[in-house]
Amino acid sequence: MTRMFIKAAAAAALFALGVLAAWGQTDPKDLYLDKCASCHGADGAGKTAKGKKLNVRPVKEAAAKSSAADMEKTVENGKGVDMPAYGKELSKEQIKGIVEYYRSLAK
Ligand code: HEC
C-alpha cells in the first residue's frame, strides 16, 4: 500500500515537472524572440543587422505569399543557406505555434 502510494507520488511529481518544462519551452513568443528574432526582428520586419545582411523578407510580404503550412515546412527543413532548419530542435507543435505568432506580426 505504502509502496503504491510512493510510486503514485513519484509519478505525479515527474508529470508535474514535465508539464512545467514543456510549458517553459512552448510559449511561442519566447521561442520566437529566442530563436528567430535575431534575423527576423522582434517585430517580424527583418530589419536587424543580420536580417538586412541576409535579405530577410518582412513578415508582411512573406505572409501574403506563403501559407502557414508552407512556413512550417520552411522552419522545419530550413531554406537556402541562411535560414536554419529547426526540425530536430523543435517539435511540430512548437513550430506551429511559432509560425502562428510570426504571422500574427504581419497584422
Ligand atoms: C540566421 C538567420 C535566421 C534565423 C535565426 C531564422 N531565420 Fe527564417 N529566414 C532567414 C532567411 C535568410 C530567410 C529567407 C530564405 C530564402 O528565401 O532563401 C528566412 C525565411 C524564413 C521563412 C520563409 C518565409 C520568408 O520570410 O521568406 C520563415 C517562415 C522563417 N524564415 C521563419 C523563421 C522562424 C520561425 C525562425 C525561428 C525558429 C527563423 N526563421 C530563424 C533567416 C533566419
Residue 82 CA, closest ligand 1 atom number: 12
Evaluate whether residue 16 is within a structural domain.
Answer: no
Nearest CA to ligand 1 atom 14: 56
The per-residue pLDDT for 94 is 96
Evaluate whether residue 15 is within a structural domain.
Answer: no
- Cβ of residue 103 lying under 6 Å from some atom of ligand 1: no
Evaluate whether residue 17 is within a structural domain.
Answer: no
Q: How many helices (H) and strands (E) does the chain have?
A: 7, 0
What string of pLDDT tens digits covers the 107 residues of the chain? 677 666 677 776 666 655 555 555 569 999 999 999 999 999 999 999 999 999 999 999 999 999 999 999 999 999 999 999 999 999 999 999 999 999 999 98
Question: In sequence order, what are the residues at sequence separation of 6 or more whose Cβ sits closer than 8 angstroms to the Cβ of residue 76?
Answer: 85, 86, 87, 92, 95
- Give bridge partners of residue 79 from the DSSP assignment: 83
Evaluate whether residue 1 is within a structural domain.
Answer: no
- Cβ of residue 63 lying under 6 Å from some atom of ligand 1: no
- Check which CATH number belongs to the domain holding 68 and give it: 1.10.760.10
Evaluate whether residue 64 is within a structural domain.
Answer: yes
44 vs 28: CA distance, rounded Å? 14
Evaluate whether residue 50 is within a structural domain.
Answer: yes
Domain carrying residue 54? 27-104
| Domain count across the chain | 1
